[in-house]
Structure 1
């Protein structure tokens, strides 16, 4: 029976694609590629390209980068219809996503609209923050400490509540949120213990231990900050 696969392709370095993901990609019949807007390069595809079945049908579907969940949900519903049609026709179908499918991925907007007739397998991938921690030889969390994964797009109030209860933090979605992140790091005296990693594991990745200068540089969508309280 055909199956739908949600595959995490990792943070950027093709060598960080898992063996399982590579094996499945070589066997698929249909591959759905998420696009934030038509015509934009697909980073997930570029990472996995060497392992994708050359005979697979490629279908690009737009998932707009907007805050309106109704719009994203509608995109997921449309993609789910395509998935269901292909899987029920006997074609193994996959959706690829950066990092891991369970973390801030449009993949779950597809899952929620699939019928129970579709068999699903989710294939985990290495996260950007795990790659960034490895790249900087940094421990994310130790002993019984709490690690918080904080989207910089969330409200300042929510970010403060998370930091009050945590020792170590990962700030994701830093793009376009540099002022808010800079302010909250200062508020919790975490600036000096933070590192900004852009395009983690890519060949052109940059690492800034000076958060002020790093955030002042040109905007980069694939940016995260690793931080912790020293006291």
Structure 2
């Protein structure tokens, strides 16, 4: 039987696509492309485009940008049905995702709906927060420090629980959550040690050390805040 691949294409820079990901994409038969809204340009595709088999069948699967898990699970189930159909026809099928497939990726909503006999291979990619740390030449964690990856869409209480025990933090999904993030950083006296990186890995990547000013500007979905408690 053919195989289903979940491939992380990295944060944005095509040169950060792994050799393994490129090799698999060059021979893939069917490629599923995630879309948040019909008609949008697919960022993951643009990153990996030069390595994708030109004969591969491209299929867009919609994953709405919502917090309702029922809706997301439904999208995952529909995508899984597409995957199973092509894999059972003997076609190697892949789904590409920004960053790494194991970190807040819609890929996992596909995997959980696949039949047990479908062979799956997950190909890791460089995460946006690792790329952001590299961009500003910053360590994410040292020694026995605890690093927390916090989605800014989480509840304030859960975020506080993480901040109570962590030394270094990555805030993801900052889009539309700026007030909550700024308030927490002020409460934990971490604002001065924070940096905002927008569109890391892309040519128009920008770095901001004045979070209040940067977050009050144009909203950018691909934004990450790196922060740490000063010793």
Equivalence map 1:44-193=2 (5 Å): 44-193=44-193
Residue aligning to 1:32? 32
Which whole-Å deviations, capped at 9, do the CAs of 1:93-146 have from their partners, x for residues lacking one?
000000000000000100001001210000000000000000000000000000
Which whole-Å deviations, capped at 9, do the CAs of 1:43-65 have from their partners, x for residues lacking one?
00000000000000000010000
Give structure 1 regions of 4+ aligned residues with deviation exceeding 6 angstroms: none
Which whole-Å deviations, capped at 9, do the CAs of 1:166-198 have from their partners, x for residues lacking one?
000000000000000000000000000000000
Which whole-Å deviations, capped at 9, do the CAs of 1:26-85 have from their partners, x for residues lacking one?
010000000001001100000000000000000001000011100000000000000000
Count of aligned positions: 231
Give the distance between the partners of 2:213 and 2:229, measured in 1 at CA.
20
1:23 maps to 2:49 = no
TM-score of the pair, normalised by structure 2: 0.99
Give the distance between the partners of 2:109 and 2:157, measured in 1 at CA.
26
Q: What secondary structure is seen at the aligned counterpart in 2 of 1:203?
A: coil
Residue aligning to 2:13? 13
Give the distance between the partners of 1:25 and 1:201, measured in 2 at CA.
20
Give the distance between the partners of 2:54 and 2:12, measured in 1 at CA.
21
Q: What secondary structure is seen at the aligned counterpart in 2 of 1:192?
A: helix
Q: Pick which of 209-218 and 150-159 moved more.
A: 209-218
Give the distance between the partners of 1:86 and 1:36, measured in 2 at CA.
23
Q: What stretches of structure 2 of length at least 5 have no aligned partner?
A: none
Residue aligning to 1:228? 228
Shift of residue 201 of structure 1? Answer: 1.3
Shift of residue 217 of structure 1? Answer: 1.1
Give the distance between the partners of 2:23 and 2:177, measured in 1 at CA.
38
Give the distance between the partners of 1:146 and 1:27, measured in 2 at CA.
40
TM-score of the pair, normalised by structure 1: 0.99
Q: Pick which of 208-217 and 181-190 moved more.
A: 208-217
Residue aligning to 1:212? 212
Shift of residue 212 of structure 1? Answer: 1.1
Q: What secondary structure is seen at the aligned counterpart in 2 of 1:40?
A: coil
